[in-house]
Amino acid sequence: MDRRDFLRSTGAASATLALPGGVTNALAQATGNPWRVYEVTTRVEVLKPTGETRVWIPLPLTTDTDYQKSLGNTWEATGGQARFWQDPKYAAGAVAAEWGPNAQPVLEVKSRFATRDRVVDLTAPPGTQRLDEASRKLYTMSTDLIPTDGIVRTTALKVTQGAKTDIEKARAIYNWVVENTFREPKTRGCGVGDIKFMLESGNLSGKCADLNALFVGMARSVGVPARDIYGVRVADSRLGYKSLGKSGDITKAQHCRADFYANGYGWVSVDPADVRKVILEEPPGKLPMDEPRVKSARERLFGTWEGNWLAYNYAHDVRLPGATRGPVGFFMYPQSETGEGRLDCLDPDQFKYTMTVRELPLA
């Protein structure tokens, strides 16, 4: 058995996940945009292990933001060994565990974090924020599933014709994605995010990993830094949207959001995929574009998002430590390999996991 706690803020080990008094007091004092604290428990069980088995579970963002702060992680790998791992390119954090032959692999990870609404006032005068060159390069580059040339760039250039600023370009792309894509409920998981195939085939359907990736790739192709942010819903929406939240059992509540960088404002949140989710799923379903709830979501989800969601990472083409197979396109689900290869993380007959969340008091 291997049981450890990794606290990002100090880099030290701790025996418990007790909330630090000074941290929670500071969070509780926030007014106007209050913080909320949650604990997410992820439990993975490999049902048919063969040979050596490895499991990787994503952790909350390893760098604090103005909308999310990590309060520590603990883990227990029954019969095996586990350690903290961080991707060198995107700083994505994970628990990486392994077991020898004849084991019955079980890994449980608990993560505590604070989150709140994210708001960027685009009507305010711009400030002095500028993105460093290394980050600009990283978040305008192509990935395996998100190319920035060919049909992606051609489409983006047409969509952004006449737009001058990064905000204008991002707004044009956001509106185009909202108006031209649709959510396909039969898509497995959150989708694949192969935007070149989507544009070439003309099939602009999918879920969040498809639709938000389309925004990100098109923005990058015209020089606007943008990124997918992979995570999971952790609470019901307080804004009246039944489709935009989940509490309790969040095993199937994974959701990716996105943002883009605008000089003078910093990273600006967007979520065109959730606009399409509102259209499809808010009662009675298949709402028209001019329905008040759709119009409100469309306006709100360019520049803000609700703090009922846990962000994991921005990572693409992730090479998991010790993996014998190739990289994963994005790292939002627990992943596993046995001696027979990588398991399908959406197949409960081979790879069983549960995720639960509870809200914790700040005091």
CATH topology for 2-116+317-360 is Immunoglobulin-like (2.60.40)
pLDDT, position 7: 37
Tokens 């693409």 correspond to 316
pLDDT digits (tens, 9 = 90+) for 159-206: 999 999 999 999 999 999 999 999 999 999 999 999 999 999 999 999
pLDDT digits (tens, 9 = 90+) for 282-336: 999 999 999 999 999 999 999 999 999 999 999 999 999 999 999 999 999 999 9
Q: With bands split at pLDDT 50, 70 and 90, how would you rate the model's confidence at 349?
A: confident
Q: How far apart are CA 114 and CA 66, in angstroms?
A: 10
Residue spans in the chain of domains classed CATH 3.10.620.30: 119-306
**pLDDT reading at 14 higher than 70:** no
> What predicted TM-score, i.e. pTM, was given to this entire model?
0.93
115: nearest Cα among 14, 20, 248, 235: 235
pLDDT, position 23: 64
Residue spans in the chain of domains classed CATH 2.60.40.2250: 2-116+317-360
Mean pLDDT of the chain, nearest integer: 93
Q: Give the residue-averaged pLDDT of 226-241.
A: 97
Contact status, residue 238 vs residue 306, Cβ threshold 8 Å: yes
**pLDDT reading at 9 higher than 90:** no
Q: With bands split at pLDDT 50, 70 and 90, how would you rate the model's confidence at 351?
A: confident
CATH number of 119-306: 3.10.620.30
pLDDT, position 43: 97
Q: Percent of the chain having pLDDT more than 90?
A: 89
Contact status, residue 323 vs residue 270, Cβ threshold 8 Å: no
* Per-residue H/E/C for the chain: CEEEEECCCCCCECCCCCCCHHHHHHHHCCCCCCCEEEEEEEEEEECCCCCCEEEEEECCCCCCCCCEEEEEEEEEEECCEEEEEECCCCCCEEEEEEECCCCCCEEEEEEEEEECCEECCCCCCCCCCCCCHHHHHHCCCCCCCCCCCHHHHHHHHHHCCCCCCHHHHHHHHHHHHHHHCEECCCCCCCCCCCHHHHHHHCCCEECHHHHHHHHHHHHHHCCCCEEEEEEEECCCCCCCCCCCCCCCECCCCEEEEEEEEECCCEEEEECHHHHHHHHHHCCCCCCCCCCHHHHHHHHHCECEECCCEEEEECCEEECCCCCCCCCEEECCCCEEEECCEECCCCCCCCEEEEEEEEEECCC
